[in-house]
Amino acid sequence: MRGQIWAQLGLPSDFFDDLPLEDERTIERSSHSVRRVERCLWYGHRLASLNRWISFSNDDKQFTLTFREGRGVKQAQ
């Protein structure tokens, strides 16, 4: 996500500050995986707060695609 225009517009300016340098990214550590998952979930919650493309159920702890332009879509698994 780092460096993408949509990420620059949709994320806080300090969102990537604690990430390793590019050359350190080739070595995958478990702590990096946890951070990646947290960032993806955070971004999913941010998108869901718009209630336009996806929504999030606190009860079920699941993201669901929303209806858009008259086309229904089933729940994402």
pTM for the full predicted model: 0.50
Tell whether 55 is covered by a domain. Answer: yes
Tell whether 44 is covered by a domain. Answer: yes
Tell whether 57 is covered by a domain. Answer: yes
Tell whether 73 is covered by a domain. Answer: no
pLDDT in tens, 15-66: 777 776 665 556 667 777 788 888 888 888 888 888 887 888 889 888 887 8
* Domains held by the chain: number: 1
Tell whether 13 is covered by a domain. Answer: no
DSSP, residue by residue, 5-74: HHHHHHS-TTTTTTSPPGGGTTS--HHHHHHHHHHHHHHHHHHHHTTSSEEEETTTTEEEEPPBTTB--P
Predicted pLDDT at 20 = 66
Q: Give the pLDDT band (50/70/90) at residue 5.
A: very low
Higher pLDDT pick, 41 / 3:
41
Domain with 44, as residue range(s), is 32-66
Q: Give the pLDDT band (50/70/90) at residue 9.
A: low
